[in-house]
A = this chain, B = another copy of it.
Amino acid sequence: MKHGGDLGSALARFGGLASEWMDLSTGINPHAYPLPDTLPAEAWTRLPAQDALTRLIAAARAAYAVPGDLDLVAAPGTQAILAHLPHVMPDGGVAVVGPTYGSHAEIWRRAGRVVHDLTSPYADLPDDVRLLVIVNPNNPDGRLVDAQSLRHHAEQLAARGGWLIVDEAFADCVPGASVLPHLNGLPVIVLRSFGKFFGLAGLRLGFAVAPRALAERLTVALESWAVPGPALEIGARALEDTAWQDAMRARLADEAADLTLMLQMQGLSVFGGTPLFVLAGTRDAAALHRALARQHVWTRVFDYAPTWLRIGLPDGQAGRARLEAALAAAIAEP
């Protein structure tokens, strides 16, 4: 699967050192949660302990406002959860509301499932569909589906023994986006990503929230010691630090607004995104992507949408200024 975030291919095609590049090809917060100066040595040396996992889960439950009747499962990244989903969810057809993050359709196709690409979250479900995947807010366009519509889908799926899968990878920085406070008794599994909002994508930490029986199947599938000791420790501290989270949400909203304004002044039409990335439209996104790459700024294009350019949030005022200069130079290219 091709993703953003690996500068290797950029360096191979456009030269330069990794340190000279500004990587805006992902939606990872450039303001990382501050790492502790030292971690307890035991986090590295001992097998991950049950009490450290219990603390992490409790912190995630509070941060994500998870209802008491749902269970949380921690994993080394949401991608590791996706890898196991086909083995723990019921059989049947899958519908993915797209265009969206490509791994969703891919994991189900690879598992031999029929996958329907729906173009609207309000489309009728084909008869064979037992699983519906909605990324909310959506990547790359930021489209939001309201909780009532998600509940309606879940009720429809419940009637056929199916499940709704909601990927909330970018929900942390969009207040009110999460469906979690609105679930009760519905067959819904919600995926949360730690690394994006907290800016620690290398840590690999993600969660699934689900009713007990499904959470238990997923826990068993992920096997013992799934989350490394350092991730248990850092994840718990960050998720418990609600003051940092609140301040960061406000900061990201401000910076995303400044980014949008700057892009529009540079002639791009911004028509979607979340505070961690914007989706801009331009006549030939691939050409602008390459021109920016010649300025050592790495963005993301989509083969299914030749006018779309996804641009991650740059690192503060300085990053934004660099992006502005690169855009001006790219657009001025003959």
Tell me the A residues contacting B by CB distance below 8 Å. Answer: 1, 3, 5-8, 23, 26, 28, 32, 35, 41-51, 76-77, 79-80, 82-84, 87, 103, 107, 110, 195, 199-204, 220-231
Contacts of A1 in B (CB 8 A): 223-224
Given A5-B46, A76-B228, A83-B84, 10 additional A-B pairs, CB 8 A: A8-B49, A26-B47, A45-B199, A46-B201, A47-B202, A48-B202, A79-B224, A87-B87, A204-B226, A228-B228
The residue of chain B having its C-beta at the shortest distance from the C-beta of A84 within the complex is B83
Known: A45-B32, A47-B6, A50-B8. A76 touches B204 (CB 8 A): yes
Q: How far does the alpha carbon of A223 sit from the alpha carbon of B1 in the complex, in Å?
A: 8
Determine the chain B residues whose CB is within 8 A of the CB of A26 once the complex forms: 47
Q: Which of chain B's residues has its CB closest to A11's CB? A: B51
**8 closest A-B pairs by CB:** A202-B229, A5-B47, A204-B228, A83-B223, A79-B223, A47-B201, A76-B76, A44-B202
| Complexed CA–CA distance, A201 and B52 (Å) | 14
Closest to A8 in B: B50
Q: Is A80 a contact partner of B46 (Cβ separation < 8 A)?
A: no
Nearest Cβ in chain B — how far from A319, in angstroms?
14
Instruction: Report yes or no: B50 in contact with A44, Cβ–Cβ below 8 A.
Output: no
Hey, which chain B residues are within 8 Å of A23, CB to CB?
46
Q: How far does the Cβ of A40 sit from chain B's closest Cβ, in whole Å?
A: 10
Q: Are B45 and A28 in touch, CB under 8 angstroms?
A: yes
Contacts A228-B204, A229-B203 given: A6-B45 contact, CB under 8 Å? Answer: no
A79 adjacent to B225 (CB under 8 Å) = yes
Question: In the assembled complex, how far is the CB of residue A266 from the closest CB belonging to chain B, in whole angstroms?
Answer: 26
Asked if B51 and A202 sit within 8 Å, CB to CB, the answer is: no
Q: A44-B35, A80-B80 are in contact. Are A225 and B204 (CB under 8 A)?
A: yes
- Shortest C-beta distance, A57 to chain B (Å), equals 14
Please measure, in the bound complex, the distance between the C-alpha atom of A202 and the C-alpha atom of B53, giving whole angstroms: 12
CB–CB B45/A201 < 8 A: yes
Residues of B within 8 A of A200 (CB): 44-45
CA distance A28 to B41 in the complex (A): 14
Q: List 14 A-B contacts (CB under 8 A).
A: A5-B46, A6-B49, A7-B49, A32-B41, A42-B202, A44-B200, A47-B202, A77-B225, A80-B80, A80-B223, A83-B221, A103-B224, A202-B229, A230-B230
Docked CA distance A82–B224 (Å) = 10
Q: List the B residue with the shortest CB-CB distance to A35.
A: B44
Contact (Cβ within 8 A) B8 A203? no
- Taken together as a complex, chains A and B put the C-alpha atoms of A7 and B46 apart, in Å, by 10
Taking CB atoms, residues of chain B closer than 8 Å to A223 are 1, 79-80, 82-83, 103, 107
Shortest Cβ distance from residue A27 to the other chain B in the assembled complex, whole angstroms = 11
A48 to B200, CA, bound (A): 10
Interfacial chain B residues near A195, Cβ < 8 Å: 47
| Residue numbers in B under 8 Å from A204 (CB-CB) | 48, 76, 225-229
| Cβ–Cβ contact A222 & B28, under 8 A | no
CB-based contact B44/A32 at 8 Å: yes
| Bound CA–CA A107/B50 (angstroms) | 21
